[in-house]
């Protein structure tokens, strides 16, 4: 012990490594638009010292934190500021029940499962003015918001029916953690991934058991449920990575960040042994292209001007470069890379009536940049950014995988990668 | 009252020393209807009062070696819980036995506690680990006792406030240069106003020497000899609390065997070294002291080895040689009250010394009794039952989770108790945080400056905790200096004050300047020297002043 004396400074989430430089507060999108929120430095490391003394010092204003992690990206001292805030919220929420609204918003998979069965009705109803008014006044879900449309057929159903059988025939293989959005709302993104991976010789496989990653559960205070689901997912991922030696690909930045980093840091579910085996698909594909293991051939007639928006959690992982560099390989794509700004939705945050105005105020800088970029569509790795940008700018938003799949000359690519057509 | 008028009055009693003892004496005297002046050469609680553990002893530490002090402690401990609620955090404490200690001592200890009237409950090591997770897991025995944490700055200020409410006058930054002695009678004090350089004389019927270790000098001015034996103790402050309860070693008192959770930090201490009386003003902490504190400290709580140290400081205990043994071999930790009329034939002069911060109230009571005996006042002492301002029965609590207080409001309630209601909070500016680490608002600073005798940033720190947090004044000192400059209409003075304050902060960081504390200090230097040029501005100003 004595020889290790004061060689390092260890504190929960590094809160005591903070030198109070306040850079985090200058990049906080919430502090920029409201004085009700004390900013990450105050809410995080400063507040933590007082909460250690007495948890009565927990300030309800911490609920305004988006958990966008921009503070953590900016911190020169490696303090996990947003995690400190999340932990304080978790502690304050112990023994408290989440509201019906929060439970509904948080259970993206449950809601999705029900809505899938009655997709046309659900879509029509959720979009109706009277329904919106009821949700606004009774459930405090803001009337400006429209729930993302539900698909008639789940991605997993489509996969089992149309794709599963042929996957084993490919020379290489990966697993796919599709997430709730792909499964219930937008199976096309999953189909695009299968199309793309197949074209470069990779068979795609589903995990043994996949549940909602739980990012919305954490945000809405349903920690026990989040932990249960995290354990299930961690087990499935471990089987894929360790036993089957298959990398687990994802197409949603927030799910990815949650699986890799928030499972251990917030939920105490250790995924560090398989962390390197979970990655966003663009990173996996970029590395293969870079190492010249695969080739991508794009259509000659693909011509589009699009803007890339870096989702906050994508930036936290530092992976936006993979998406951007991969997209830049599409000859016909005039790609405008936007300065990183938060869109303001932060998953379910912006759906809540009390957050609507703040959410839009936060996003306004980004919306202006998008407008100035004069593009026909926006590209981002996060589905909730997509909803926010579509609602706020009227432009369509796509995942990089869909853009790549759309621009891909499938036959030429298959040939180039030595596959039979 | 303006200072000049204070000088002109004649007082029943003049108290020298603005530590806890002087403040407690001033309060007691004022409550008994005497006219009181308290003078302090620096700021209130600058000496030993503000330079200890912030531990509200149960007395258990003294139980085996000094039963009388132990009994005094537990009695005062229970009184302070009632009268000084807002200064006290009732944490309880543990006396732990480690494998290298003799477990048989525990039995001796518990019995001695019993004799002194201290609740001492032997608990299993497992239970100790459960109620205090930071404790050394290797412990083989633990005793739970009613130790607590106390804020000596708050305690002193609350006593002074009550003294003032009851008519006392108090002057800080007034140094006693001599006593007015006339025909074998002390009749007042000669003062140097260190704020404006003025020299004045103030008259009083009785002079009480409550100057702690500096009391020997004061007595000498009156031609009286007291032999004090300064014992220096160094302490370290960690950046946050690692412990919830006070942790002590269950063995004969030794170096660095108490870890106290104080407000947002925890403090390990102390060393104990006899030093020559000439060096009592040198409070620098040495490398050897830091090493001992860390080495012993990790035996109480191993996590201290990897916890950031933000500051080191030292204080001097005013131990007194008993009159029948001037060699100093038998030194008492007990209270010593000397009536110099009886002892030295000097009328109107009383020295109250020895004792501990814990027994300040009792010392005040004893001194006041001696003053009253001289003045023929027979009013009884009520300080044991009358709550201090801020600690009234209906005072709000910082721990009340049912109230939606802002961070700053809650912290202010923790510091000022019911008096926090006097802090303005009606607009965004008053609610803005000046000190983000400790939650001090503009409103709280206004309150402190206008009502708690604040002349400079160091004063302000003692009243509010401005600059006491992790950043040691990096962010708050310029904001606070700007407010002081505004209130005093003197920007140049504020600038000099800012430089002095930052130097004072660095002094305490320097002995522990490694790792994150060094990074912190470097960033502070980069901002104030590199970016703002404060060092140059101050040296230019100094040259101008000299010309």
**Residues B270-320: pLDDT tens digits?**
999 999 999 999 999 999 999 999 999 999 999 999 999 999 999 999 888
Residue A132 pLDDT class (50, 70, 90 cuts): confident
- Work out the number of other CB atoms within 10 angstroms of the CB of residue B281: 9
Last residue of a domain, one of A78, A93, A108: A93
Q: Is residue A349 part of a domain?
A: yes
CATH number at residue A17: 1.10.1060.10
pLDDT at A73: 97
Does the beta-carbon distance from A9 to B471 stay under 8 Å? Answer: no
Res A127 pLDDT > 80:
no
Q: State mean pLDDT over B465-476.
A: 95
Q: How many CB pairs under 8 A join A and B?
A: 110
Q: Which of A19, A21, A56 sits opposite B400 (nearest CB)?
A: A56
Q: Note whether B499 and B458 are within 8 A (CB).
A: no
Q: The dihedral of CA B251, B109, B363, B165: what is its sign? A: positive
Q: Is residue A201 part of a domain?
A: no
pLDDT digits (tens, 9 = 90+) for B202-211: 999 999 999 9
Where does residue A272 rank: exposed (0-12), middle (13-18), buried (19+ CB within 10 A)? exposed
- List, in sequence order, the alpha helices (H) in A128-186: 129-134, 155-158, 164-167, 179-180
Q: State mean pLDDT over B86-107.
A: 97
Q: Is residue A116 part of a domain?
A: no
Does the beta-carbon distance from A1 to B398 stay under 8 Å? Answer: no
Q: Is A178 left (phi over 0), alpha (psi -120 to 50) or beta?
A: alpha
Residues of B with CB under 8 A from a CB of A: 239-241, 261, 263-265, 294-295, 298, 302-303, 305-309, 398-401, 404, 406-407, 410-411, 428, 433, 436-437, 439, 469-471, 474-475, 514-516, 519-520, 523
Distance from CA of A36 to the nearest CA of B (A): 10
Res B327 pLDDT > 60:
no
pLDDT at A146: 80
Per 3-state DSSP, chain B is made up of helix, strand and coil in percentages (nearest 5) of: 45, 20, 35
Pairing relationship of beta strands A248-250 and A202-206 according to DSSP bridges: unpaired
Give A59's contacts in chain B (Cβ within 8 Å): 406-407
| Rg (chain B; Cα; Å) | 23
Res A3 pLDDT > 60:
no
Give B294's contacts in chain A (Cβ within 8 Å): 5-6
Give B169's strand partners: B37
Q: Note whether B112 and B67 are within 8 A (CB).
A: yes
- Work out the number of other CB atoms within 10 angstroms of the CB of residue A68: 27
Strands (DSSP E) found in A312-369: 333-337
Token couple for B221: 């001015």
Give B401's contacts in chain A (Cβ within 8 Å): 55-56, 58
Distance from CA of B431 to the nearest CA of A (A): 11
Strands (DSSP E) found in A314-386: 333-337, 377-379
pLDDT at A368: 98
Strands (DSSP E) found in A213-321: 248-250, 278-280, 304-308
Distances (CA, A) of B353 to A13, A43, B21, B228, B321: 47, 45, 8, 9, 11
Per 3-state DSSP, chain A is made up of helix, strand and coil in percentages (nearest 5) of: 60, 10, 35
Strands (DSSP E) found in B419-528: 433-435, 440-441
Does the beta-carbon distance from A77 to B516 stay under 8 Å? Answer: yes
Q: Which residues contact A289 (CB under 8 A, 6 or more apart)?
A: A295, A296, A326, A329
Res B373 pLDDT > 70:
yes
Residue B171 CA to its chain's centroid (Å): 17
pLDDT digits (tens, 9 = 90+) for B478-533: 999 999 999 999 999 999 999 999 999 999 999 999 999 999 999 999 999 999 99
Share of chain A above pLDDT 90, in %: 82
- Work out the number of other CB atoms within 10 angstroms of the CB of residue B145: 26
Q: State mean pLDDT over A56-71.
A: 94
Does the beta-carbon distance from B406 to A22 stay under 8 Å? Answer: no
Q: Note whether B86 and B391 are within 8 A (CB).
A: yes
pLDDT at B332: 65
* 8-state DSSP, B28: H
Distance from CA of A267 to the nearest CA of B (A): 21
Residue B147: CA count within 13 A, CB half-sphere: 26
Last residue of a domain, one of A93, A127, A146: A93
* Domains and their CATH numbers in chain B: 3-48+153-225+328-375 (3.50.50.60), 88-149+229-320 (3.30.9.10), 407-546 (no CATH)
Give B400's contacts in chain A (Cβ within 8 Å): 56
Q: Which residue of A has its CA nearest to B522?
A: A19
Res B469 pLDDT > 90:
yes
- Work out the number of other CB atoms within 10 angstroms of the CB of residue B64: 21
pLDDT at A151: 87
Q: State mean pLDDT over A103-108.
A: 82
Does the beta-carbon distance from B298 to A5 stay under 8 Å? Answer: yes
pLDDT at A131: 78
* 8-state DSSP, A260: I
Give B519's contacts in chain A (Cβ within 8 Å): 19, 77
What is the distance between the alpha carbons of residues A400 and A285, in angstroms, rounded to a whole number? Answer: 11
- List, in sequence order, the alpha helices (H) in B34-103: 60-63, 67-83
Strand (E) or helix (H) holding A174: strand A172-177
CATH number at residue A341: 3.40.50
Q: Is residue A151 part of a domain?
A: no
Q: State mean pLDDT over A64-91.
A: 96
Give A1's contacts in chain B (Cβ within 8 Å): 298, 302, 305
Q: Which residue of A has its CA nearest to B266?
A: A53
What is the distance between the alpha carbons of residues B57 and B61, in angstroms, rounded to a whole number? Answer: 7
Give B520's contacts in chain A (Cβ within 8 Å): 19-20
pLDDT at B1: 66
Residue B431 pLDDT class (50, 70, 90 cuts): very high
Q: Is residue A239 part of a domain?
A: no
pLDDT digits (tens, 9 = 90+) for A300-320: 999 999 999 999 999 999 999
Q: Give the domain extent around A37.
A: 9-93
Give B261's contacts in chain A (Cβ within 8 Å): 53
Residue A138 pLDDT class (50, 70, 90 cuts): confident
pLDDT digits (tens, 9 = 90+) for B172-200: 999 999 999 999 999 999 999 999 999 99
Residue B329 pLDDT class (50, 70, 90 cuts): low
What is the distance between the alpha carbons of residues B175 and A290, in angstroms, rounded to a whole number? Answer: 77
Give A21's contacts in chain B (Cβ within 8 Å): 523
* 8-state DSSP, B403: S
Q: Which of helix, strand or coil describes residue A143?
A: coil
Among A380, A402, A416, A418, smallest CA distance to A190 is for A402
Does the beta-carbon distance from A47 to B514 stay under 8 Å? Answer: no
pLDDT at A147: 79
What is the distance between the alpha carbons of residues B23 and B31, in angstroms, rounded to a whole number? Answer: 12
Q: Note whether B256 and B269 are within 8 A (CB).
A: yes
What is the distance between the alpha carbons of residues B368 and B362, in angstroms, rounded to a whole number? Answer: 10
Does the beta-carbon distance from B474 to A20 stay under 8 Å? Answer: yes
Q: Which of A4, A18, A59 sits opposite B470 (nearest CB)?
A: A18
Q: Is residue A419 part of a domain?
A: no
Place of tokens 């080739």: A295
Token couple for B236: 């370290």
Q: Which residue of A has its CA nearest to B428?
A: A35
Distances (CA, A) of A40 to A20, A68, A265, B430, B431: 11, 11, 18, 21, 18
pLDDT at B80: 98
Residue B44 pLDDT class (50, 70, 90 cuts): very high
Does the beta-carbon distance from A20 to B520 stay under 8 Å? Answer: yes
Does the beta-carbon distance from A5 to B295 stay under 8 Å? Answer: yes
Domains of chain A: total? 2
Q: Is residue A325 part of a domain?
A: yes
Q: State mean pLDDT over A187-215.
A: 97
Last residue of a domain, one of A93, A122, A150: A93
Q: Which of B400, B471, B514 sits opposite A20 (nearest CB)?
A: B471
Residue A336 CA to its chain's centroid (Å): 21
| Mean per-residue pLDDT of chain A | 93
Q: Which of B309, B439, B515 sits opposite A50 (nearest CB)?
A: B439
Among B52, B42, B53, smallest CA distance to B18 is for B42
Distances (CA, A) of B415 to A278, B418, B480: 49, 9, 18
Among B477, B522, B471, smallest CA distance to B496 is for B477
Res B107 pLDDT > 60:
yes
What is the distance between the alpha carbons of residues A33 and A355, in angstroms, rounded to a whole number? Answer: 12
Strand (E) or helix (H) holding B314: strand B309-321
Q: Is residue A273 part of a domain?
A: no
Residue A1 pLDDT class (50, 70, 90 cuts): very low
Encode B422-441 in three state secondary structure: HCCCCCHHHHCEEECCCCEE
Residue A95 pLDDT class (50, 70, 90 cuts): confident
Share of chain B above pLDDT 90, in %: 91
Residue A183 pLDDT class (50, 70, 90 cuts): very high
Res B330 pLDDT > 70:
no
Res B19 pLDDT > 60:
yes
Q: Which residue of B has its CA nearest to A50?
A: B264
């Amino acid at each position: 012990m004595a020889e290790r004396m004061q060689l390092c400074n260890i504190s929960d989430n590094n809160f005591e490594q903070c030198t109070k430089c306040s850079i985090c507060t200058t990049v906080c999108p919430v502090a920029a638009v409201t004085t009700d929120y004390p900013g990450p430095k105050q809410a995080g490391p400063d507040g933590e010292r007082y909460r250690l003394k007495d948890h009565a010092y927990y300030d309800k204003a911490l609920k305004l934190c988006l958990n966008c992690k921009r503070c953590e990206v900016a911190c020169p001292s490696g303090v996990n500021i947003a995690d400190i805030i999340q932990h304080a919220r978790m502690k304050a929420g112990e023994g408290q029940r989440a509201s019906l609204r929060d439970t509904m918003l948080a259970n993206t998979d449950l809601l999705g499962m029900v809505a899938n069965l009655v997709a046309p009705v659900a879509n029509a109803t959720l979009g109706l003015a009277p329904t919106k008014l009821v949700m606004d006044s009774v459930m405090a879900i803001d009337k400006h918001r429209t729930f993302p449309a539900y698909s008639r057929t789940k991605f997993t159903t489509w996969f089992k029916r149309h794709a599963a059988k042929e996957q084993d025939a490919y020379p290489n293989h990966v697993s796919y953690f599709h997430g709730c959005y792909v499964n219930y709302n937008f199976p096309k993104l999953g189909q695009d991934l299968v199309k793309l991976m197949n074209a470069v010789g990779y068979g795609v496989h589903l995990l043994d058991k996949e549940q909602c990653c739980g990012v919305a559960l954490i945000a809405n205070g349903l920690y026990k449920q989040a932990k249960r689901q995290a354990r299930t997912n961690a087990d499935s991922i471990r089987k894929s990575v360790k036993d089957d030696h298959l990398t687990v690909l994802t197409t949603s930045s927030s799910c990815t960040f949650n699986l890799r980093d928030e499972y251990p840091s917030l939920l105490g579910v250790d995924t560090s042994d398989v962390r390197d085996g979970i990655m966003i698909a663009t990173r996996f594909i970029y590395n293969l292209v870079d190492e010249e293991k695969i080739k991508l051939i794009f259509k000659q007639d693909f011509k589009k001007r699009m803007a890339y928006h870096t989702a906050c959690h994508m930036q936290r992982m530092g992976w936006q470069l993979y998406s951007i560099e991969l997209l830049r390989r599409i000859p016909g794509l005039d790609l405008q890379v936007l300065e990183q700004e938060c869109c303001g939705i932060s998953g379910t945050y912006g759906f809540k009536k009390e957050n609507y105005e703040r959410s839009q105020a936060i996003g306004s800088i980004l919306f202006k940049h998008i407008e100035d970029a004069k593009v026909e569509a926006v590209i981002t790795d996060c589905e909730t950014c997509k909803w926010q940008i579509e609602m706020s700018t009227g432009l369509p938003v796509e995942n990089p995988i869909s853009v790549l799949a759309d621009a891909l000359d499938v036959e030429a690519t298959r040939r180039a990668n030595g596959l039979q057509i | 009252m303006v200072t000049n008028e204070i000088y002109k009055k004649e007082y029943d009693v003049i108290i020298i020393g603005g530590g806890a003892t002087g403040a407690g004496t001033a309060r007691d005297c004022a409550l008994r209807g005497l006219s009181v002046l308290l003078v302090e050469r620096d700021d209130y609680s600058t000496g030993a009062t503000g330079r200890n553990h912030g531990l509200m002893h149960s007395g258990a530490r003294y139980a085996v070696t000094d039963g009388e002090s132990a009994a005094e402690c537990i009695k005062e401990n229970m009184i302070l819980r009632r009268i000084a609620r807002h200064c006290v955090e009732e944490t309880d404490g543990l006396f732990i036995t480690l494998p290298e200690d003799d477990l048989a001592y525990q039995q001796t200890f518990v019995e001695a506690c019993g004799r002194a009237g201290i609740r001492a409950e032997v608990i299993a090591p497992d239970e100790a680990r459960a109620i205090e997770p930071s404790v050394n897991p290797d412990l083989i025995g633990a005793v739970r006792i009613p130790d607590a944490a106390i804020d000596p700055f708050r305690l002193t200020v609350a006593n002074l406030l009550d003294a003032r409410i009851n008519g006392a006058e108090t002057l800080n930054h007034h140094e006693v240069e001599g006593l007015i002695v006339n025909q074998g009678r002390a009749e007042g004090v000669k003062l140097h106003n260190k704020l404006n350089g003025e020299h004045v004389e103030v008259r009083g019927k009785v002079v009480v020497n409550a100057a702690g270790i500096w009391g020997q000098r004061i007595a000498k001015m009156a031609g009286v000899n007291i032999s004090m034996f300064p014992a220096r103790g160094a302490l370290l402050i960690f950046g946050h609390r690692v412990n919830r309860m006070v942790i002590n070693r269950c063995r004969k008192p030794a170096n660095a065997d108490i870890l106290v959770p104080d407000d947002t930090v925890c403090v390990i201490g102390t060393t104990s070294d006899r030093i020559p009386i000439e060096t009592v003003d040198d409070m620098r902490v040495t490398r050897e002291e830091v090493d001992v504190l860390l080495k012993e400290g990790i035996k109480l709580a191993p996590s201290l080895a990897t916890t950031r140290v933000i500051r080191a400081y030292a204080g001097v205990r005013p131990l007194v040689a008993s009159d029948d043994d001037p060699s100093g071999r038998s030194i008492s930790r007990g209270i010593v009250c000397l009536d110099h009329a009886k002892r030295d034939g000097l009328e109107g002069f009383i020295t109250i010394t020895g004792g501990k911060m814990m027994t300040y109230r009792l010392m005040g009571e004893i001194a006041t009794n001696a003053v009253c005996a001289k003045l023929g006042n027979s009013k009884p002492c009520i300080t044991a039952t009358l709550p201090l301002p801020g600690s009234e029965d209906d005072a709000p609590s910082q721990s009340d989770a049912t109230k939606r207080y802002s961070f700053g409001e809650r912290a202010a309630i923790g510091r000022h108790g019911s008096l926090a209601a006097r802090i303005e909070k009606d607009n965004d500016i008053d609610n803005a945080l000046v000190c983000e680490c400790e939650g001090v608002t503009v409103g709280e600073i206004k309150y402190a400056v206008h009502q708690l005798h604040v002349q400079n940033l160091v004063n302000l720190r003692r009243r509010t905790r401005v600059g006491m947090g992790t950043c040691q004044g990096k962010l708050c000192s310029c904001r606070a200096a700007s407010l002081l400059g505004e209130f005093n209409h003197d920007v140049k003075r504020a600038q000099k004050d800012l430089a002095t304050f930052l130097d004072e902060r660095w002094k305490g960081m320097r002995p522990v300047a490694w790792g994150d504390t060094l990074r912190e200090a470097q960033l502070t230097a980069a901002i104030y020297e590199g970016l703002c040029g404060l060092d140059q501005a101050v040296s230019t100003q100094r040259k101008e002043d000299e010309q």
